[in-house]
Chains A and B, each alone.
Chain A
Amino acid sequence: MKTFAAAYNSRWRRVLHSMMPATLRNRVILFMVLGALSSQVLVLLIWTAQAKEQARAEVSETAQLLAASATQATRFIRALPVSYRPLLIDQLRTTGGSRFLMQLNRSFVDQPSAEAGELSGLMNGLVQRAIGAELARDGLSGVRVQVVPSRSLIVDDSGISATELPGQWLDAAGLPMKEEQPLLVVQVGIEPGNWLLLASALPNPGLFLRAHPYAPDRLLMILAGLVAVLLIVVGVARGITQSLAHLDKAASAFARDLTVEHIPEQGPLEVQRLAHSFNEMQAQVQRSVADREHLFRSVSHDLKTPIMRLGFRAELLDDPVLREGFKKDLQELGVMLQGALSTMRGADLPEPTTRVALGELLGELTEAAIGAGAPVSLTVSEVSVPGKALALKRALGNLIDNAMRYGKRVDVSLGITGDCALVTIRDYGPGLPEDQMEKIFEPYLRLEHGNQVNSQGNGLGLWIARNTVRRHGGDIVLSNHPQGGLVAAVTLRMGDLPSQ
């Protein structure tokens, strides 16, 4: 049982989670709108309940009044000699004085039933009970009460409707005919074959006509309220998320190539604090990188002198074999140092970010080789990315040089994958063991095969290339081609130039 509940719970959570909008702004909007909507609905429900309660009270008061009047009128008519009754009715038609339109009929006149509203039914029942009880004391049992739309009222047992009567009579009885309004119609069998019909306007017809609580205009009002809330919320949410978006942009730029952008510390307090921390972090990281570079550079620089001195001292060695060994090691050390220094310098190279046409760049890189008859093929298309042209040229150049060095033949192609440019460089060499695919990017790492082919390499080429590409928001992935040879897939984010 418990596990079921838990599973159920977690499933619901998942469903809810999947329905949740991804962005903060949309979440804020969703919750605000939900809140506004539920409060509106709640108010509407309370209001409806109250209005209904009030209407019921009014109806019951009206019913008592009308029942009393109808009883009185019935008794008055009954007390008159039969021959005088038409006179009284004619009199009321011309002079008014009664709240009822009265008509004497030979039988009960069935009325077209009104739309049976709840209040009409209540009114019906109350009046029926009150008059029935009163007139039962006079020995009258035939009492029928109906709520009838005024324009459908049938007055006479021959089927004449109220709308066919002279307007003056209806005015005298206060019956509204211009517009459709509910009337209370009481019919009493005062003697066998004599029915008295009493029709009266209801004192508060609005009660019965009052717009349904869920009428379109009311819903429209709720909708208008929601739209107003939505507009305000969208504005507020934008204000909050704009500063976050700014922060996000700066953070991703920083992550890409340590570009420092100072975030203005404004907006809500939380965002201000976040911006402040981010600025602090940027400064801190920049300082430590600078310190490290400084340290590395001075160490590299400082090492030059002892290496040079060691070189001189090695010259003094008598054993030629030993001397050559020393010289070779020192030379290698010097190359490594040189490479490290030039790498530091390259990273430092201040270069503006521009739109780099990759096709042209690859053409330049392979031009010389193709001109010299090297087996290099190039397939390009019109693709450009924002970036530092020289750094990219060096990175891609490293990869192509590697490929030409280790493979017999090289295919270079340029395409698009998703929102990135894709440069594929395939050689037809021996490829790499799978466990070396990542390791090879580590600085100063030389593989056996590499050492054999290029003993002068310093082991920094791939490391530099990957660093550069990653700073451009891309990556280099190596893989073995199924038909042999190594494939280097370089992705580079396209997108717009970052606006400065």
Chain B
Amino acid sequence: MQAVIGSASARRALEVLHWWASAGERLALDRLVEELNCLTLRWRNAVVPGGDISAAGTVLRARILARAPPDLAHVSVSDLRSLARSGVLMDITGAPQTVTWHSGVHALVRESMEVDGRWMGIPLGVHRVNTMAWHKGHWDRLGLPPPDAWSSLLLSARELDRAGVVPLVWSDDGTSLTGLFDSLLLAELGPKGYERLSQADGWAQEGVVSALKMLRRLRGWVPSQRQQRVNWSVAGREFLRGRAGIWFMPDWCRGELNAWGMREGKDYEIGPVPGTAGGFLYQVDCLAAVNPAGRRQQDIQELADMLTSVPLQRAYNLAKGSTPVVSGALAATAAAPHWAALDDPRLVRLPALTHRHGNLGLRGDVLTQLLQAFLRDPTQDALALGRQMLRLQQKEFR
């Protein structure tokens, strides 16, 4: 796609490692690349197939260890923290008089990008994690109540099942599964209890075990042949084709569904997971410069300038389904009414687990694997798993 041709070699290419492989992600990426390639910078894709954060993490670590890292890498905020503390990332704070792009970034996002007071990541968008999509066609046809509470959701699931529609789908991919578990934790613990997860006895709360039990209960509505671990976009395809009624997915499902030609409000609805309507579990997408020596600081700053510009932010986030990171781009448009949520005073904004692992004690990849094993083995006890999570968190296992 981005073949290095004669004239392009003169331009300064930046290799970016990421795992945006789905339709919506590619569209959003195209918006960036179109804009960037008009400039002297050149964006070179190093995409990890599979669209899975753990596979991308493996590739990134392999390249760092092989001393051939990409210039930039898409990382989760918790990875951003640990990589920054390992000293393999470039400090992109820059001199205050020359670097100005920081100033427009939303305070919430700034907090995420700063590690020990230094800017370590270029933010791209804010995702809401506690969301799900439901198929409007089935709801209208069967006259189902909106799934805004567990009671109505489970009632709808029964009806869908009776109508021969798969009630629920989700992917056991790292981010999708932890996203759902995150939402269930928020629903069970409430915002205060959810905040307490960072504290020493946070995982000892009864709500943790309840969330695990709820996860297993919901799993019961997923047909067994769809329970094997699938890529999230494959799970999305089920929903897209109308085979499934509800898709538990952070809000990048919006970008994906839009890319396939569905329209929010007409073909599908997106809403908070029941019990979490008052909360905004957020997660920030960002790029980290994998270059501790600080080479090409100039090019990186130029790229950050571009990526945080208002037009590009709007274009990119419209396509991705996320929310712009700069306050100037937040003015809600008719095409993106959800952007208002970031500053909605009625919502409590809480960093999602994937965002907070560095502060949680419990590693994100460990949590994901424990949840995957929990769903694979129906005999595993929720209480025992809760205790295991508590121990790993309290001991701050690395």
Residue A269 lies at the interface, judged by CB distance under 8 Å to chain B: no
- Supposing A83-B88, A86-B86, A167-B373 touch, asked if A91 and B395 sit within 8 A by C-beta, the answer is no
Residue B388 lies at the interface, judged by CB distance under 8 Å to chain A: yes
- Supposing A87-B61, A91-B62, A167-B369 touch, asked if A156 and B395 sit within 8 A by C-beta, the answer is yes
- A94 near B86: Cβ-Cβ < 8 Å: no
**Chain A neighbourhood of B370, CB < 8 A:** 166
- Supposing A86-B86, A87-B65, A164-B391 touch, asked if A94 and B57 sit within 8 A by C-beta, the answer is yes
Distance (whole angstroms) from the CB of A493 to the closest CB of chain B? 77
Residue B366 lies at the interface, judged by CB distance under 8 Å to chain A: yes
**Chain B neighbourhood of A112, CB < 8 A:** none
Type the 1/0 row for A81-94, where 1 means its CB is closer than 8 Å to any CB of B: 00110111011001
Residue A3 lies at the interface, judged by CB distance under 8 Å to chain B: no
Distance (whole angstroms) from the CB of A136 to the closest CB of chain B? 28
Q: Report how far A167 CA is from B391 CA in the complex, Å.
A: 16
- A164 near B392: Cβ-Cβ < 8 Å: yes
- B65 near A88: Cβ-Cβ < 8 Å: yes
- A86 near B398: Cβ-Cβ < 8 Å: yes
Residue A500 lies at the interface, judged by CB distance under 8 Å to chain B: no
Interface positions of B from 276 to 298, Cβ below 8 Å from A: none
Residue A499 lies at the interface, judged by CB distance under 8 Å to chain B: no
Residue B365 lies at the interface, judged by CB distance under 8 Å to chain A: yes
**Chain B neighbourhood of A169, CB < 8 A:** 369
Nearest CB to that of A91 among chain B residues? B61
Nearest CB to that of B67 among chain A residues? A84
**Chain B neighbourhood of A160, CB < 8 A:** 391-392, 395, 397
Residue A95 lies at the interface, judged by CB distance under 8 Å to chain B: yes
Residue B344 lies at the interface, judged by CB distance under 8 Å to chain A: no
- B64 near A87: Cβ-Cβ < 8 Å: yes
Nearest CB to that of B79 among chain A residues? A90
Type the 1/0 row for B73-87, where 1 means its CB is closer than 8 Å to any CB of A: 000000000100011
Interface positions of B from 24 to 76, Cβ below 8 Å from A: 54, 57-58, 61-62, 64-65
**Chain B neighbourhood of A167, CB < 8 A:** 369, 373
Nearest CB to that of B396 among chain A residues? A158
Q: Report how far A164 CA is from B396 CA in the complex, Å.
A: 13
**Chain A neighbourhood of B58, CB < 8 A:** 91, 94-95
Q: Report how far A156 CA is from B392 CA in the complex, Å.
A: 10
Residue A268 lies at the interface, judged by CB distance under 8 Å to chain B: no
Type the 1/0 row for B374-398, where 1 means its CB is closer than 8 Å to any CB of A: 0000000000000010011001111
Distance (whole angstroms) from the CB of B57 to the closest CB of chain A? 7
Q: Report how far A158 CA is from B392 CA in the complex, Å.
A: 9
Residue A159 lies at the interface, judged by CB distance under 8 Å to chain B: yes
Interface positions of A from 31 to 78, Cβ below 8 Å from B: none
Interface positions of A from 154 to 171, Cβ below 8 Å from B: 156, 158-160, 164-169
- Supposing A91-B58, A94-B365, A164-B392 touch, asked if A84 and B64 sit within 8 A by C-beta, the answer is yes
Q: Report how far A90 CA is from B373 CA in the complex, Å.
A: 19
Q: Report how far A156 CA is from B62 CA in the complex, Å.
A: 24
Nearest CB to that of A155 among chain B residues? B397
Distance (whole angstroms) from the CB of A158 to the closest CB of chain B? 4
- A94 near B373: Cβ-Cβ < 8 Å: no
- Supposing A91-B62, A160-B391, A167-B373 touch, asked if A83 and B366 sit within 8 A by C-beta, the answer is no
- Supposing A164-B391, A166-B366, A166-B373 touch, asked if A90 and B396 sit within 8 A by C-beta, the answer is no
**Chain B neighbourhood of A168, CB < 8 A:** 369, 373
Q: Report how far A94 CA is from B61 CA in the complex, Å.
A: 11
**Chain B neighbourhood of A164, CB < 8 A:** 388, 391-392, 397
- B65 near A91: Cβ-Cβ < 8 Å: yes
- A90 near B366: Cβ-Cβ < 8 Å: no
**Chain B neighbourhood of A83, CB < 8 A:** 86-88
Distance (whole angstroms) from the CB of A71 to the closest CB of chain B? 20
Q: Report how far A165 CA is from B367 CA in the complex, Å.
A: 10
- Supposing A91-B65, A166-B369 touch, asked if A84 and B391 sit within 8 A by C-beta, the answer is no
Q: Report how far A156 CA is from B361 CA in the complex, Å.
A: 14
- B392 near A84: Cβ-Cβ < 8 Å: no
**Chain A neighbourhood of B62, CB < 8 A:** 91, 95
Nearest CB to that of A80 among chain B residues? B65
Q: Report how far A166 CA is from B366 CA in the complex, Å.
A: 6
Q: Report how far A295 CA is from B124 CA in the complex, Å.
A: 143
**Chain A neighbourhood of B82, CB < 8 A:** 86
Distance (whole angstroms) from the CB of B375 to the closest CB of chain A? 13
Type the 1/0 row for B170-198, where 1 means its CB is closer than 8 Å to any CB of A: 00000000000000000000000000000
Distance (whole angstroms) from the CB of A75 to the closest CB of chain B? 15
**Chain B neighbourhood of A95, CB < 8 A:** 58, 62
Nearest CB to that of B391 among chain A residues? A164
Q: Report how far A127 CA is from B231 CA in the complex, Å.
A: 45
Q: Report how far A86 CA is from B82 CA in the complex, Å.
A: 10
Distance (whole angstroms) from the CB of A160 to the closest CB of chain B? 5
**Chain A neighbourhood of B87, CB < 8 A:** 83
Nearest CB to that of B292 among chain A residues? A83
Pick the residue among B57, B388, B397 that contacts A158 (CB under 8 A).
Answer: B397
**Chain B neighbourhood of A90, CB < 8 A:** 57, 61, 365
Pick the residue among B65, B366, B395 that contacts A159 (CB under 8 A).
Answer: B395
Nearest CB to that of A169 among chain B residues? B369
- A87 near B397: Cβ-Cβ < 8 Å: no
Nearest CB to that of B397 among chain A residues? A160
Q: Report how far A49 CA is from B259 CA in the complex, Å.
A: 74
Distance (whole angstroms) from the CB of B231 to the closest CB of chain A? 17
Type the 1/0 row for A480-493, where 1 means its CB is closer than 8 Å to any CB of B: 00000000000000
- A84 near B86: Cβ-Cβ < 8 Å: yes
Nearest CB to that of A86 among chain B residues? B86
Distance (whole angstroms) from the CB of A196 to the closest CB of chain B? 14
Q: Report how far A246 CA is from B86 CA in the complex, Å.
A: 98
Nearest CB to that of A105 among chain B residues? B398
Q: Report how far A158 CA is from B363 CA in the complex, Å.
A: 15
Distance (whole angstroms) from the CB of B378 to the closest CB of chain A? 15
- B65 near A84: Cβ-Cβ < 8 Å: yes
Nearest CB to that of A156 among chain B residues? B397
Distance (whole angstroms) from the CB of B376 to the closest CB of chain A? 9
Nearest CB to that of B387 among chain A residues? A164
Q: What are 16 sample pairs from A and B whose C-beta atoms fall under 8 A apart?
A: A80-B65, A83-B87, A86-B82, A86-B86, A87-B61, A87-B88, A88-B65, A91-B65, A94-B58, A156-B395, A156-B398, A160-B392, A160-B397, A164-B392, A164-B397, A167-B369
**What 19 new A-B contacts, CB under 8 Å, besides A91-B61, A160-B392?**
A83-B87, A83-B88, A84-B65, A84-B86, A86-B82, A87-B61, A90-B61, A90-B365, A91-B58, A94-B365, A95-B62, A104-B398, A164-B388, A164-B397, A166-B365, A166-B366, A167-B369, A167-B373, A168-B369
The 8 closest A-B pairs by CB, nearest first: A166-B369, A158-B395, A83-B87, A83-B86, A91-B61, A87-B61, A160-B397, A168-B369
